[in-house]
Amino acid sequence: MLDRTPRDLILWFFLILFIISFFLLGKLLWPFISVIVMGAVVTGVFYPVYRLLGKKLPPRYASFFTCILIFVVLFVPIVLFVGVLANEIHNFYVQAVSAEVVDSVKQFFVSRNILERINSVLANFDLSLTFDEMIKPIIDLGKSVGMTLFNQANAIASNLLKFVIHFFLMLIIIYYLLLDGHRFLRYIINLSPLPEDQDVKLMNKFKDMAGAVLVVNGISGMVQGVVGGLIFAFLGFRSPVLWGVLMAFFAFLPIVGIGIIFVPTALWLFFVGRMGAGIAVLVIYVLLSGGVEYLFKPAVVGKRIKMHTLLVFLGIIGGLQLFGVLGIIYGPLVITFFLTLSDIYNKSYKSLVEPEGRNRPHVEDASGEIHDE
């Protein structure tokens, strides 16, 4: 019998070198991981455009003109929009910390005897409330939100050069991914020890989820943000662009969505006596949110993406905590990765891991208890 010891030593030595090289490669690329991921996601979104141009142009020209289109569609509006948004955030912060706001709110409460009515109810419980006690939490919240937004606007303005550099780096990545992305995917599939059908399943799930998060949620968020901003401008609220951006951001979150802004707005309008405007805001919210969630998204996404709403919500919240704004994309992708691997495990590897006798079907009786069949 042949001695396998030298062969095993060579294999382990190679694996150690390979892991070290993989670690160093990851460390080398980690500062640009967000740019690479966004480049891959945007490449998947605009690949149909590249394929359409590729029917009439050589691949290099088709990729180049696709990158030009991405520049016009994404970079130019973002740069123009950031300037307007930064100005509105500054105005919002100044208003939040100004004494004029407090005086106007106090005058409003006094003119309508609101504080007296509240105290008449609280008197039944031997309680009373002063104007300062009532308004302080609201003012503190406004200052906190204003300071947070103001700091974010300053960070964007101070890192504008970094954003420009990263955007053009992303365009370079997109250019070569459009040309050679299929070769890179084939290289990853050949390198992976998993069966090819499982590798393809993983990649397709990532592609579908990335498209759903970026395209579908992006378009629906943009629509809801624009409509919400126009409604706020029509109702006379200050900083409609800022409110529109916040609505577009919250539209990514399932369960709560733009209701986190629309519902308090409607309640405030009811409170100040603008009943018609409050009812109109609620009706528009129901039609807008319901139309997007129950008509637009199912029609575009269909049954490609099967993920529980709560998982999407937790994935986005957790992603925001870990990765910042890009967590909106990273969070659902991480959950997609786990769920796809779980599905592959259940179908292909569970029987190899679990002992015999455990792989029996389970049924649930009328009482909700699970038992072996």
Q: Give 25-62 pLDDT, tens digit per residue.
A: 989 988 888 888 888 878 877 888 999 998 888 989 99
The pTM of this model reads: 0.64
Q: Give 223-267 pLDDT, tens digit per residue.
A: 888 888 888 888 888 777 778 888 888 887 777 788 888 888 888
pLDDT at 188 (0 to 100)? 81
C-alpha distance from residue 147 to each of 79, 84, 93, 157 (Å): 22, 17, 6, 15
DSSP code of residue 371: E
Interhelix angle 76-97/131-158, nearest 10 degrees: 150
Find all residues with CB under 8 Å of 330, minimum gap 6, and list them.
37, 319, 322, 323
* Mean pLDDT value across the chain: 76
Give the residue extent of every domain in the chain.
33-181, 191-349
